[in-house]
């Protein structure tokens, strides 16, 4: 069974731009969670989607948003990029509920200049 895939793997943007990252969960998984990893803050939870609805949200500003499609694929968007948004963005999927074992994708490395 194929794992979680994320596109693109690497991205360079400039301050003020916006970016959209994509995540395809493991086949049959319906819950998708997003995490941000930075050297200073470590791995932090952004939000979780299930059946096209956001169920949980971490402590991030409204510039960070996401959505989930009917095929469980998910996208996250960051608007008005700041230098501090440079990070590894990770997507994880689980079968039905976020409380089940989550499996991570390889991540998207975002660099904001």
Q: Are 32 and 91 in contact (CB under 8 A)?
A: yes
Does residue 90 belong to the site contacting another protein (CB under 8 A)?
A: yes
Count of residues interacting with another protein (CB under 8 A)? 27
Would you say 15 or 41 has its CB closer to another protein? 41
Which of 28, 39, 32, 37 is closest to 6 using CA atoms?
A: 32
Strand partners, 21: 76
Does residue 68 belong to the site contacting another protein (CB under 8 A)?
A: no
Among 43, 83, 111, 113, binds another protein (CB under 8 A): 43
Q: Are 56 and 47 in contact (CB under 8 A)?
A: yes
Q: Which residues lie near another protein (CB under 8 A)?
A: 4, 33, 35, 42-45, 48, 50, 55-56, 58, 88, 90, 92, 97-107, 109
């Amino acid at each position: 069974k194929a794992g979680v895939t994320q596109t693109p793997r690497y991205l360079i943007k400039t301050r003020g731009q916006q970016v959209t990252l994509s995540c395809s969960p493991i086949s049959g998984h319906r819950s998708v969670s997003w995490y941000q990893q930075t050297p200073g803050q470590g791995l932090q939870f952004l939000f979780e989607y299930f059946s096209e609805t956001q169920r949980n949200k971490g402590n991030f500003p409204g510039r960070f948003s996401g959505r989930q499609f009917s095929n469980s694929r998910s996208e996250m968007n960051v608007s008005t990029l700041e230098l501090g948004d440079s990070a590894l963005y990770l997507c994880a999927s689980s079968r039905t509920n976020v409380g089940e074992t989550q499996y991570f994708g390889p991540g998207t490395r975002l660099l904001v200049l």
